[in-house]
Structure 1
């Protein structure tokens, strides 16, 4: 576990004046990025929030999300924001190796290039040296992190005059998809969450870590787990392979009032119970649902470096982090996801580009 923690910590933002030709083809130098702080009473301190935005020339080249496993994505640190009004996409990351805001740069950067301000808090306890199974399983805290990030963006001098009023959406990947559904109005069932790892069958990777860490979910204080985390400022929610999706109160999906888009990665009939969201989508009054059959849950990670799969095996990561569904490259799958997400948010919120 120590090795995994050290590797996950490497996903932190890395500043490097690297030649643009060596970076991902999905990014360009007209995307700015900056770090802001979001005060959080619930967390007892400030949250780190990464913000990507349409930018004019300027700033300093940086590479986000690069690690020993994954190729990073370039942007321009503190570049001037392009004049205009932009919708906001709040982005919630997953746990583990994908558990930082910067790890989602592969999708955040092209969204900013296409006319959105994208803001992603790093959820405490979900990654890095302070990674904790107990904190990760407090799923009900994550939505308030996202709401705090929106509060901060709305008050930040660099952005507040460039926000397109009322045009706010949320995008979540993996555990971030669970967060997005909660922000739309779905509520966690405390009893389901407490018993989630009794057998480990629904999610062997997550529950294996929980058990290895000595965490007893039944002993965890679940009094706030079933609370309402809906943020009414959010007009559209999208979840990609939300996980764990099988811990919600089933009757709360029918009460969601905003449109929700869900994408599952994998072949229908072979999608794991922890992420299978077809039934949930049907229960949401205004929904869209799609699958990408030749993708996998790990397709939400950045493109792997050469030799990353062998390194992951050597380091006993335990998950096939470089494996997709077969047939297409991860970059091609990313391009499809980016197009699908951009189209969905453009229809729901509208953009000026």
Structure 2
């Protein structure tokens, strides 16, 4: 039984064409300990595999990956993915699997207290500073894992942050958030229920936590990031390349005060991608029929927005971005990869 309490169905049969040269992808569930209160914490890691391809299903999510298959020989840089408020890493499975196929290990924790199982920490100081600590614990778990540790290059780390996960990624990259900035914003924008809710800022539930950066971080990908806690002074410690994607019609995390402000205030040059007509949820993986029935709000895009096309572009650019920023040898990629992935999308 998967850690999230969902039924896990594995099909061990290889696909037609599984002998194509491009590598397959495995995934591995990791059981951690939450550094905030020692409760059990779950994470999932995707990695290049030398085993035949297969499909898996976790709840409504259909994955082009197989659990606990043999890791392909090599040394793979690590990418850490942080989901949004009340979310799940599986909402970004297509990006994670694409990057694993391109030669990365991708690990993503469920942020306990702010995931799809519960929201008890949302809007708190412990959530703001605890999320990066949970991500750091996931890094340690991959390094120590008997299957993934031997093929991991943990000295080259990239970060992916979606929505509130953008705050997590920025903290790990060296940013120091200012709760006072959020408080001032909420006093002037009480209509922003997502950021402010019933409070005028963060609820201080702990006073013993501080932001902790990881000096190994070499690049950051931000997707519709929350940025209200950061101004120029708070971002001065972020000295790595940043690729930023945002929907032009994001009503949940308004880009003027979040993504646009981050792009302006980050000291490093930011590659900025504005998606016309797109909303906040366009960065979640294209929905299966089961998801569309269960999660209509996050699966429906505005007229004229092709989520599959958005992800085709985003996934490919993310791979190029991390290869260049982290110094991954592009010649290690297998020819024919793009053709096969387009074939997989048509299935």
**Cα deviation, residue 230, structure 1:** 1.3
- Equivalence for 1:255: 237
**Cα deviation, residue 293, structure 1:** 1.8
In the superposition, the TM-score normalised over structure 2's length comes to 0.79
Equivalent residues in 2 for 1:28-177 (5 A)?
30-57=24-51, 61-64=55-58, 66-67=59-60, 71-96=61-86, 99-132=87-120, 134=122, 138-177=127-166
> What is the Cα-based RMSD across aligned positions, in Å?
3.4
C-alpha distance after superposition, 1:199-242 (max 9, x if no partner): 764633454xx43xxx78565336356x3321112111111111
**5+ residue gaps in structure 1?**
1-8, 22-27, 314-319
Measure, in 2, the Cα distance between the counterparts of 1:47 and 1:269: 31
C-alpha distance after superposition, 1:83-138 (max 9, x if no partner): 11111101111123xx1222221211111111110011110011234332546662
Change (3 A) 1:341 1:76: same
**Cα deviation, residue 196, structure 1:** 6.0
Measure, in 2, the Cα distance between the counterparts of 1:13 and 1:347: 37
Measure, in 2, the Cα distance between the counterparts of 1:300 and 1:326: 16
C-alpha distance after superposition, 1:306-337 (max 9, x if no partner): 48667657xxxxxx322334323211111111
C-alpha distance after superposition, 1:173-196 (max 9, x if no partner): 111111111111112212234566
**Cα deviation, residue 298, structure 1:** 0.9
- Equivalence for 1:220: 204
Change (3 A) 1:269 1:53: closer
Residues 35 and 50 in structure 1, CA contact (< 8 A), matched pair in contact too: yes
Measure, in 2, the Cα distance between the counterparts of 1:49 and 1:307: 23
Residues 49 and 71 in structure 2, CA contact (< 8 A), matched pair in contact too: yes
- Equivalence for 1:264: 246
Equivalent residues in 2 for 1:169-248 (5 A)?
169-194=158-183, 201=190, 203-205=192-194, 207=196, 210-211=197-198, 220-221=204-205, 223=207, 227-243=210-226, 245-248=227-230
**5+ residue gaps in structure 2?**
16-21, 334-347
Measure, in 1, the Cα distance between the counterparts of 2:121 and 2:56: 31
Residues 168 and 234 in structure 1, CA contact (< 8 A), matched pair in contact too: yes
Q: How many positions carry a matched residue from both structures?
A: 320
SS at match of 2:114: coil
Residues 242 and 275 in structure 1, CA contact (< 8 A), matched pair in contact too: no
In the superposition, the TM-score normalised over structure 1's length comes to 0.78
Measure, in 2, the Cα distance between the counterparts of 1:148 and 1:270: 29
Measure, in 2, the Cα distance between the counterparts of 1:343 and 1:336: 11
Change (3 A) 1:302 1:127: same
